[in-house]
């Protein structure tokens, strides 16, 4: 049985038996496996997510910085109505566009004022997360941006 086979079998055993850790050492071969805590128990006591608001069914993550995968989110810095473009114009950005920190990516209208929102990060737009013309909360993710460096 080769090493990979052994590890596979050990993983199988872990899963079947809900083990958190396995460590084996045999004839100079040492294998140690460790799994993150099963979430089932800990999450079962968590508070339920707040009910989605009137306007927005999606979840609100409040990520403002890049996560491990190098993907950042541009979040709404204020409550208001989200527009991808100035009235009658083309969208500021689309999926695939490169943006810099100062690139205007959208408008949020709040109290009749059109606020131009900047990306605040560098990279490529990989997703527009909100429909044009819908309401957004403070902290709501608007765009996914893949870091360019």
| Spatial separation of the C-alpha atoms in residues 4 and 27, rounded to whole Å | 16
Q: How far is the CB of 44 from a copy of itself (least distance, A)?
A: 9
**Per-residue contact string for residues 21-40; x = within reach of other proteins by CB under 8 A:** --------------------
Return the DSSP state at 144: E
Q: How many chain residues are in contact with a copy of itself, going by CB under 8 A?
A: 38
Which C-beta is closer to other proteins: that of 103 or that of 140?
A: 140
Residue 113: name the closest of 77, 139, 80, 76 by CA: 80
* CA 41 to each of CA 18, 50, 85: distance values in angstroms, whole numbers, following the listed order: 12, 20, 45
Contact flag: residue 61 with a copy of itself (CB under 8 A): no
| Spatial separation of the C-alpha atoms in residues 35 and 84, rounded to whole Å | 43
Contact flag: residue 41 with other proteins (CB under 8 A): no
Which C-beta is closer to other proteins: that of 12 or that of 113?
A: 113
Q: Cβ distance 106 to 136 under 8 Å?
A: no
Residue 122: name the closest of 63, 72, 67 by CA: 72
Task: Report CA 64 to chain centroid distance, whole Å.
Answer: 10
Out of 63, 78, 86, 147, which residue is the one contacting other proteins (CB under 8 A)? 78
Contact flag: residue 9 with a copy of itself (CB under 8 A): yes
User: Where does this chain bind a copy of itself (CB under 8 A)?
Assistant: 1-4, 6-11, 13-15, 17-38, 41-42, 45
User: Where does this chain bind other proteins (CB under 8 A)?
Assistant: 42, 44-51, 53-55, 60, 62, 78-81, 110-111, 113, 135, 137-140
């Amino acid at each position: 049985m080769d090493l990979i086979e052994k590890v596979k079998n050990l993983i199988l055993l872990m899963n079947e038996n809900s083990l958190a850790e396995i460590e084996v050492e045999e004839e100079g071969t040492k294998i140690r496996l460790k799994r993150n805590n099963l979430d089932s128990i800990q999450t079962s006591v968590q508070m339920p997510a707040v009910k989605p608001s009137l306007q927005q069914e999606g979840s609100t993550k409040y990520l403002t910085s890049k996560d491990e995968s190098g993907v950042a989110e541009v979040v709404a810095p204020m409550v208001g109505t989200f527009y991808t473009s100035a009235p009658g114009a083309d969208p500021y950005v689309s999926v695939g566009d490169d943006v810099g920190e100062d690139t205007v990516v959208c408008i949020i209208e709040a109290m009749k004022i059109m606020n131009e929102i900047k990306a605040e990060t560098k990279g490529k737009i990989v997703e527009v997360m909100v429909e044009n013309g819908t309401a957004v909360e403070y902290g709501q993710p608007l765009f996914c941006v893949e870091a360019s460096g």
